[in-house]
Structure 1
């Protein structure tokens, strides 16, 4: 796996560090961030739409991304979508 660093929360101190990468091989967007609070996780787990089972599989997690990181997420999505990485 070759992760390409895209960005980190500009408000990061020395401990918490919401961070975004792109896997150059699979073009997946990789996100490290805060775990969602139990109420938000429960709301996500109860959400029902076609193709989305109720609950959160053991292999998945609900994370919270700071809104001010939207530009970093767009940059990651653009990087993942670049045709020269395919």
Structure 2
């Protein structure tokens, strides 16, 4: 796995650290974020979306990322997009 560290929440303290990486080999974004409240997770799990099963599979998770990290997420998207253009 070739993880490229992109950035961390600029307001991070010693205990919290939402983080974004780009996995250039798999061409995926990797996020570390806050766990949602049980109420938010239940709302996400109950939301019906056409073509999508209700619930959250065991292999997936709901996380929270602060809006102030949009620039970091864009940078990660750009890195993964560049990796998909390589031969």
What interval of TM-score do these two structures reach, taking the shorter chain for normalisation?
over 0.9
C-alpha separation between the residues in 2 aligned to 1:81 and 1:64? 23
Q: Judge which range, 29-38 or 47-56, deviates more.
A: 47-56
Runs of 4+ in 1 over 3 A off after TM superposition: none
Distance 2:40 2:27 in 1: 28
> TM-score, structure 1 length as denominator?
0.93
CA RMSD of aligned residues (A): 1.0
Number of corresponding residues: 85
Unaligned runs of 5+ in 2: none
Q: TM-score, normalised by structure 2?
A: 0.92
**How far did 1:78 drift?**
1.0
Q: Where does residue 74 of structure 2 map in the other structure?
A: 74
CA positional deviation for 1:52: 1.4
Unaligned runs of 5+ in 1: none
